[in-house]
Amino acid sequence: MNKPAPIAGFIILLICFSALLKAQKQIPYVNSADSIRFGIMITDTGGYAAASKLYETISDNDTNYALALIEDAIAKEALELDSDAIALCRKGLLLESDYTPDFYNTLANVYLDEGDYSTAVKLLKDTALPAYSNVHKLYYTLGLAQ
């Protein structure tokens, strides 16, 4: 009774599996809290582009991803990259996180920067304020838009 076929098959399977493990993309470790903290410090000195690059290193699987998105959207707004800021805010709104009111506020501010006051008013009155009536900065932004 010769059984070399099952052993050879197992060895080939083991070799293939180990090759797949080596081929996996290695994701570098990023301390998101430190990156965000440092990015905010850079933003405070006007280094919006450098801060934005830091925020973009944070994975969408990270627990601080929503915070990184809102900070990146704010940096993009300051850099007058309005379409990028809008895209980040819309992505952030899909997360339904604690930062959702901030995404609405930043999105409305970008619309204001573009001179699209009616869209900002509509967003705030119809969507943001009914859901977040206790967030006072939304009322402030509404006042600016009106």
What is the mean pLDDT of each successive set of 10 residues along the chain, which is 146 residues long? 60 64 61 91 93 92 94 96 96 95 97 96 97 96 96
Q: What share of the chain is helix, strand, coil (3-state, %, to 5)?
A: 75, 0, 25
Which residue type sits at 81?
Answer: L
Phi, psi for residue 64 in degrees, rounded to 5: -100, 15
What 3-state DSSP class applies to 51? helix
Q: Are 99 and 68 contacting, i.e. CB atoms less than 8 angstroms apart? A: no
pLDDT value of residue 139: 97
- Helix residue ranges per DSSP H, 24-81: 32-44, 48-55, 65-78
pLDDT value of residue 13: 61
User: Rounded to an integer, what distance in angstroms lies between the CA atom of residue 49 and that of residue 2?
Assistant: 67
pLDDT value of residue 29: 72
pLDDT tens for 94-105 read 998 999 999 999
pLDDT value of residue 2: 56
